[in-house]
Structure 1
Amino acid sequence: MTKTALLLAAAAVLFATSVAAQETIAPGAKVSVVFDQALPNVPGKSMRVVLVEYDPGAGSHSHRHPSSAFIYARVLEGAIRSKVNDEPEHTYQAGESWMEKPGDHHQVSHNASDTQPAKLLAVFVVDTSDRKIVIPDK
């Protein structure tokens, strides 16, 4: 089984066991927590998986994540424009991924299309006490 097939199979299982916590973070941008589990072998840490859905032309505001968060993000559908810290903006297509380290600043997260929706799956390893996943810039 390829890495992509394995990830998509895992995503399907996660969606099936969704805790169904959803939050609209900007017009046309929705975040749904699809998995949230304390790591039994790492006290105080949890794995939290979120599905981010952007309507055509939508995106989220510049933001950060909890300072404890290590994040792996993978585009499931469409294309996502992303800019983290001082790195150049990059457009990720379905099947492509990136990571964010604790303390990173996510300056751009936006659907690259004005006509098609986009989805990404983000896997967080985060302090269990950190409940808010997206912290908008002030």
Structure 2
Amino acid sequence: MKTTRIIAAALLIVGSGLMLDGAAAQQPGIHRTDLIKNDLGVPGRETLQVRVDFEPGAVSIKHSHPGEEVAYVLEGSLEYQLEGRAPVTLKAGEALFIPAGVAHVAKNVGNGKASELATYIVDKGTPLVVPVE
């Protein structure tokens, strides 16, 4: 009986961790579509490309990544707030480089849907989105 409770508690803890990672990736008003994931020629590094769609007014959680991100706005207007910098607003056709480990928030500041193409060059095998308080 005690072993069953320990196993159940362990599964609950592991499951909660998985849900947290999923919650960081899929937030209300934000939809991520994974496009490609591939190893790089540099050992331990990989690249991922993701389309991120923001409903009007949607705001990401404050987060960072275990590598660099290039955000290219496909449609609409997105405001990016990188830690230690003034906010910058980009419209369709503009891009932003986000250094590894820099905490940031993205927000749809337009009237309609906004979308970005996010390209990540990150450490392989690590969570892509790291929530920051």
Q: Report the TM-score range of the alignment, normalised by the length of the smaller protein.
A: 0.7 to 0.9
Residues 103 and 132, structure 2, Cα contact 8 Å, conserved in 1: no
CA RMSD of aligned residues (A): 1.6
Per the alignment, residue 134 of structure 1 pairs with 129
Q: Look up the match of 2:19.
A: none
1:1-138 superposed matches below 5 A:
25-39=26-40, 41-66=41-66, 69-106=67-104, 108-113=105-110, 115-130=111-126, 132-138=127-133
Deviation at 1:25, TM superposition (A): 2.9
Per-residue deviation, 1:137 = 2.1
Deviation at 1:125, TM superposition (A): 0.8
Distance (whole Å) between structure 2 residues aligned to residue 45 and residue 72 of structure 1 = 16
- Asked if 2 retains the 8 angstrom alpha-carbon contact of 1:75 and 1:92, the reply is yes
| SS of residue paired to 1:59 | coil
Match of 1:14 in 2: none
Query: Residue 85 of structure 1: CA displacement?
Result: 1.4
Question: Percent of aligned pairs with the same residue?
Answer: 32
2:64 touches 2:100 (CA, 8 Å); kept in 1?
Answer: no
Comparing both structures, which one devotes a greater share of its residues to strand?
1
Contact 1:25–1:60 (CA under 8 A) maintained in structure 2 = no
The structure whose Rg is larger is 2
- 5+ long unaligned stretches in structure 1: 1-21
User: Which ranges in structure 2 are unaligned for 5 or more consecutive residues?
Assistant: 1-21
The normalised TM-score by structure 1 is 0.74
Residue identity matched to 1:110: K
Is the contact made by 2:65 and 2:122 (CA closer than 8 Å) also made in structure 1? no
Q: Which protein is richer in helix relative to its size? A: 2
Q: What is the CA distance between 1:122 and its match in structure 2?
A: 0.9
Name the CA distance, whole Å, in 1 between partners of 2:97 and 2:132: 20
Note the C-alpha offset of 1:129.
1.4
What is the TM-score normalised by the length of structure 2? 0.77
How far the C-alpha of 1:121 sits from its partner, in A, is: 0.6
